[in-house]
Amino acid sequence: MSHWPGRFAGKHVIVTGAANGIGAATARRFLDEGATLSVIDLAADDLAQVFPEPDAAGLFAQAGDCTDAPTLAAFHAEAVSRFGPVDVLFNNVGQSGRERSAPFVDSREEVWRFVVEVSLFSAMRMARLVAPTMRGRGGRIVNMSSDAAFVGDAGLADYAAAKMGVVGFTRALARELAPHEVTVNAVAPGAVRTKAHERLSPEVLARIVAGTPAGFIATPRDVAAAVAFLASDEARFITGQTLLIDGGRWMS
């Protein structure tokens, strides 16, 4: 993937869930394109591997639980104290119930609540922290949805609901902030080769590929490229949109 050196020079970018997969790839891309970067993730060891110098010039990395509102508030306050107001927020953090996922009739409310907390509420809380300042100076918010919200994958009712909630939140917030030169968009990836995919059997992976018209599984860098575009000045006239990055699995 080609980079645009200096595209985010002078911009303070926050990425949540930056220790692995799409979050890590996107965070590295923002750094490579000149951004000042603040990142947070619960996986402290993985975060340290991706960002071995967490207090390097232009970088602030903190381990923390993105489902905890006080933790997010403290992280945001520290990031702003170091680098000033946030220009770009990528609300990446989120996940399904994973091993606790089940057909809806067998699912448990405690899992629903976790999935909604990490996939929707975290984005709303983080956006609430940055939006007041962005209203006065402009900015970019990119939220993480999923093509599961559109396709409606069996066994992922809670995840699909949370991720479609992200779509609705994106549209409403985009309308509110558009007069203030703030764009709000979402990306909705399909099959992406991350750690979660390492736990899938070859048979399951083969079915995923067979169900993807493009005929292959994406890499995190494919999503990072789209996020970087939506966060850039080139996308200033795009807002309230959800970009599916799924090799054609869902075509609207």
pLDDT on residue 1 = 57
* Beta-sheet pairing, 242-245 with 182-189: parallel
pLDDT on residue 205 = 81
Q: Which residues 6+ apart lie within 8 Å of 216 measured at CB?
A: 209, 247
Helix orientation angle between 109-116 and 157-177, rounded to the nearest 10 degrees: 30
Element holding 115 (H helix, E strand): helix 109-116
Q: Residue 59 corresponds to which tokens in the numbers above?
A: 């970088």
Chain position carrying tokens 């996020």:
227
Residue boundaries of the structural domains of the chain: 12-245
123 among known catalytic residues: no
- Asked if 31 contacts 37 with a C-beta cutoff of 8 angstroms, the reply is yes
Q: What is the pLDDT along the chain (252 residues), one digit of tens a residue?
A: 567 889 999 999 999 999 999 999 999 999 999 999 999 999 999 999 999 887 788 999 999 999 999 999 999 999 999 999 999 999 999 988 677 888 889 989 999 999 999 999 999 999 999 999 999 999 999 999 999 999 998 889 999 999 999 999 999 999 999 999 999 999 999 989 877 667 677 887 888 888 899 999 899 999 999 999 999 999 999 999 999 999 999 887
Residues in the chain: 252
Nearest CA among 46, 38, 104 for reference residue 72: 38
Q: One of 101, 159, 190, 243 is an active-site residue; which one?
A: 159
pLDDT on residue 197 = 67
Which residues on neighbouring strands pair with residue 37, listed in sequence order? 13, 59
**Rg for the chain (alpha carbons), in Å?**
17
Q: Which CATH superfamily is domain 12-245 in?
A: NAD(P)-binding Rossmann-like Domain (3.40.50.720)
pLDDT on residue 55 = 77
